[in-house]
Every structure is written in C-alpha cells, then in structure tokens.
Amino acid sequence: MNTESAVLPDKARAAVARAADLRLIGLLLASPSVENRRQVDELRAEAPDEALRALAGQLRALDDGYHGSLFGPGGPVSPREAAYIGRQDPARVMAELGSFYAAFGFRPPAADPVDHVATEVAFASFLSLKEGYALSRGDAAAARTTAEALHHFFREHLSVIAGGLVARFTASPEVEFLALANALLARSGGLPLKEEQLVSLEDEDVMSCGMCEGEDPKDSTE
C-alpha cells in the first residue's frame, strides 16, 4: 500500500465530518419544520464540532416565529444570495446554481429557492459527502473532481452569502445567528466579500428588490 492510499481513510472521515457540520448549519438556517427539527436533533448528537452542537441547542430552543422575523419577507436579513451580489445579474447566478445542482444530481428542496442559504449549504454538504465516499473507495479522480467543484462553489457562491449574513448579523443583536453565520463562513474558506458586494449591503434598492423578498423574477413589474 502506498503512502497516498494509506491516508485516504482519514481524508474520507474529514470530508464526511465536514458534510455533517454543513448539513446541521443548513438545517438551522432553513425554515423551521417538524422534519427539520427531527434532523437537527439527530445531527446534534453526532456532529463532531462541540461548539456547533452547543450552538445548535441554543438555536433549537428559539421560537419558530423568531426565525421568520429575521429571514421572512420584510425581515432585516435576506437568506438569498441575490441580496449580496451587488450589480451582478441574478438570472445568471440562478442559472449557474441550477447547472451546479444538475451536474451532480442534487435535487434542491422544493420549499426554498435555489439561491437560499439553506439550499446552497445542503448542496455543499452533498458534495462533501460525495467526496468522502469517493475517498473511501480509493477513487482519487472522482474525489478530486468533487473537491474542486466544492471549492469553486464555496468561492463563487457560498462564501458570498455567508459573508453577507455575517455582515448583517454583526449589525444586529442576534448573537446566536452571528455565530452560526461565522461558522458557515469558516467552512466556506473564510473568503472575504468583494468590494462591490460590501457596497451592495448599503444599497437599499438592492436589498428591497423582489429577488431579496422571495419573489420570482417573472412576477416583478420592474
């Protein structure tokens, strides 16, 4: 057995652990439901990150209405990437997300838009799990392809929305959600927001657009 194949099990375990952490983060950012709460309780018992487990317990105890007051229509924090992309074309971003999901056989939850943070985190978890599976089988080529796709997705999408959430929660009293957004940002490589994205956080026209409030672009009159 060569040196590379000998370390594959450790790499596989790390990928699976990352997938579990991401899945838990995504569920905590998703709209509350009976099924989501059940999965959160299961993952809390198994998540390798002790701080994340504790944070999940704090967020799990919050009233469901609290989540809606933050992320719902008219709330202070948008859960969608479209809110944090500055002057980029939202349709292009949506198309790229759809292509990512289709290429890897990922089926987004029907309840949330494709650029919702919970959907994007679920996809990142899905990719990380696929990477771990490929590594456990010794399929270095498949693992490398998946890892590269995950890195690209982090850089182009997940770090954007994670950084936007951190910026929003830094300016608000929701310390538990700030900690959760920081945990997500850390797992997306800690990539900083680009200058145009930071500017967009101060642009009320962008933040109040239909895309940010959960409307379908075709329903917009603008």
DSSP code of residue 84: G
pLDDT at 19: 92
pLDDT tens, residue by residue, 71-127 = 888 888 999 999 998 888 889 999 999 999 999 999 988 778 899 999 999 999 999
Confidence at residue 8, expressed as pLDDT on a 0 to 100 scale: 56
Q: In the chain, which stretches have pLDDT less than 50?
A: 1-7, 195-222
- Name the pTM for this structure: 0.81
Closest by alpha carbon to 93, among 160, 19, 29? 160
pLDDT for the residue numbered 208: 34
Structural domain spans, the chain? 3-219
Q: What is the pLDDT at residue 1?
A: 40
Q: 177-184 long-range CB contacts below 8 Å, 24 or more apart?
A: 177/59, 177/70, 177/77, 179/55, 180/25, 180/28, 180/29, 180/55, 180/59, 183/21, 183/25, 183/49, 183/51, 183/52, 183/55, 184/22, 184/25, 184/29, 184/117, 184/121, 184/158
Q: What is the CATH number of domain 3-219?
A: 1.10.3480.10
Q: Please give the pLDDT value at position 221.
A: 33
Please tell me the predicted confidence (pLDDT) of residue 153. Answer: 94
- The pLDDT score that the predictor gives to residue 32 is 85
* Of residues 136, 186, 153, the one with CA closest to residue 16: 136
Q: Residue 124: its pLDDT value, please?
A: 96
pLDDT of residue 4: 47
pLDDT at 92: 92
